[in-house]
Structure 1
């Protein structure tokens, strides 16, 4: 029983931990990667059941150290995917977020990089805008009193500080484009920042869009907020 529990819990953690890197490096397609995650949850649940049987009925013959390690593996294998599912249910199933819903910033240099992406470069549309308004009402255009050149430099520096790949920085157009690659699955999400002068003020709009997936699990909204926070710190 001890060996069986160890094997199942170890298998469970592998099925949950490995799909991300395997997809990231092109070894596994996205569909099979998510299937492996699902099986990892099932294996984790099985391991937890066996651990409980051990603790309740075979207490005299078990190694508590082995049980502890197996339980940690099993709980992580079950808890991590379930937390992702819970996050998905708490946010709208959208993947294109913009602070300007009427005239979203357009991707220029990044557009060719998204040519083969499942999610097209064009803005997702009115239904997405409606869902964004309800879920993220705080995401709006930001107005700065500093000149546009200063805001542009602060934004470019912020993108570098966040570790994103800077694709385009055109000061004459007031456009900065970048790509953020997620750590686990290596999903590429693209960002475009539009900086314009309006009288004595500078208006900044940011759009962040995933290349794949229907729902971004709230990541694009978080990314926009993170960028604004870093820009503010730089200013």
Structure 2
């Protein structure tokens, strides 16, 4: 009985830790390293507590087991979010900069001051090779409309995806924006470049860059694909 009680409190504490870790980082009271440790500790505490509570639930089915069941359901629901994120990103390469044009990637201008020095510089052939190996199908969008129309469509998609627009240039057909990840709220910067292609058509290239970290768990590639999919439907 005492073990089950401690497991219930452990599940509750783990739930609080998993919620507090990203929240603390988002509002600036917890550095990234300690926040990650708190998150990992919370997930571990939930896992251990879930095992104990699960064993108790197998023995108790009456009202006495309601507290344990409630704690277990809440803890697993919260802990499943970071676990699912990690599982879905298995196999993602350790890169944080993804673009549809690895030969001549779009350059950042407005976002340079928002990143650490040199962060927005492209990583060169080595990065391009790693990206092509991981995301071989990532390519620019080719539209059968003039660049000005493609630019307007791209900007409409950016706003519909609720990205923060940093800069737009209708003369050079460039857009810079920022998006935030769901769990920790990491800032990622995006640059979109529209150029003429063929007779009256346009080519739209996208680049997405994380401001922190070595790897991005596949977030930037997913973001680029989601943008291109939305643009094709615009």
Normalized against structure 1, the TM-score is what? 0.90
Tell me how far apart the structure 1 counterparts of residues 223 and 213 of structure 2 sit (CA, whole Å): 16
Q: Which residue of the partner structure matches residue 31 of structure 2?
A: 29
8 Å contact from structure 1 (residues 54, 62) kept in 2? no
2:148 is aligned with 1:149:
yes
- Deviations 1:157-214 (CA, angstroms, capped at 9, x unpaired): 1111110011111011121110012232110000001101134121111000000011
RMSD: 2.0
Aligned to 2:203: 203
Kept after mapping to 2: 8 A contact 1:191/1:208: yes
Maintained 8 Å contact 1:176/1:193: yes
In structure 1, runs of 5+ residues without a counterpart are none
Distance 1:49 1:217 in 2: 28
Query: What does 1:135-146 align with in structure 2 at a 5 Å threshold?
Result: 135-146=134-145
For the residues of structure 1 that align with 2:108 and 2:208, how far apart are their CA atoms?
Answer: 10
1:47-75 CA-partner distances (Å, limit 9, x unpaired): 1232144245x638872321221221342
Among candidates 12, 17, 24, match of residue 15 of structure 1: 17
The TM-score normalised by the length of structure 2 is: 0.90
Aligned match of 1:84: 85
- Relative distance call for 1:88 and 1:20 in structure 2 (3 A) is same
**Partners of 1:222 and 1:196 in 2: CA distance:** 23
Unaligned runs of 5+ in 2: none
Query: What CA distance in whole angstroms lies between the structure 2 residues aligned with 1:164 and 1:102?
Result: 26
Give the conservation status (yes or no) of the 8 Å contact 1:105–1:192.
Answer: yes
**Structure 1 CA distance for aligned equivalents of residues 42 and 26 of structure 2:** 18
Aligned to 2:161: 162
CA 1:174–1:74 in 2, change beyond 3 Å: closer, same or farther?
same
Q: 2: CA distance between counterparts of 1:161 and 1:88? A: 25
Once residues 199 and 226 of structure 1 are traced to their aligned partners in structure 2, the CA distance between those partners, rounded to angstroms, is 25
